[in-house]
Chains A and B, each alone.
Chain A
């Protein structure tokens, strides 16, 4: 099965109202080429699951500024004032989730679990409306799995089978999101032949990856 596809093939799969996971942490390890594809396609009413909403001119921030997002599930919006503005104006729904909880909710979905129990958020507004479960005398919040239609991730080196290796801090949410969507598209900084990444060094096994696009090398971030 040929997994390396053109941006045009990605373009065709993007639809209004989709739920997307997008990897990266303050745009480090964010697939900028795929975000540009979303902007070009101008799909609307997206639900985005991401660590943060980037900056107005970089990463997921560009989709917010372009008013393509209906709802965002994220841990931090402080670096993109436009997210806060749209939230306050009622144009954008923002669900803030503790970072460690968010990544575990995604992991749970990808791993076929019914949810996770975490002590994080107990005694805060994060616990509102959630089931509390006591285990061995300690109280936890039940946090439910989060899935997406498509996960857009960024890999430093990807082989033609879809095995992914991430350089340094670009890894962040990418390998976890790769497990939790119906379709996973990785934007590769570099594509190599199968076998060129030694099997023990692969971080995301090819089984999780549907498509590979060759992205440009992004500059400072």
Chain B
């Protein structure tokens, strides 16, 4: 399998680049088709007509469409995203500041999902057809069908309102000053704040990888080499973990890589519910405020 030659790699990279250009073009078209423009987000009641005109000129809204298109394509490929009129800072900075927070929450959820899911899937596939398999599988599907934001609200209602254990919003306790905070205190504070959003994400999240793992496991257990491993007299556990599960994991890994791309899509709603200051919340605010400089590069 020496198929990965330099030429193959080049063709792959080239077509990925062209795909990216097409996506950017579509996004440009979407922005042009959206009603309202982002200049109106910057205009206050006391802005004079001259200032408005100057703003339009400065942001290049009056340029012909092809000019705007070329500017857009060049700027975005050199990571010059411009300033966000809504947040009043560079969009690139905004994203760099907010991305780690999203990654903390969703990285953790991702990790839990892809540890628990394949493990459960492995056991279910091994015990295929038993009552245990059937009931856990159906239960998992039921959990998979619950809307995550509803689970989140239930969590807030139960743990925050009724029991008062976990805070329901933001990433840190809101204090005017953080000077006296030690590292330990910061960590425990973040952990308390992350509990509910992480819990509601993990509640739904593990099922996806379980659904991929279980049929793979079932297929693998019927292979000859598993039969051979049994015949060698290895224990059930060794056969399951070392021989069957390892080979069943491959499609799960593929799915996980695709799944990384969807973290941002999924982050939108949970961040909205918990006011988690991450990138999904930025996206929603930006889209609803016609704030294109910060909305586009997120994709």
Chains A and B are bound partners: no
Give the interface of B toward A (CB within 8 A).
none
A residues engaging B (CB < 8 A)? none
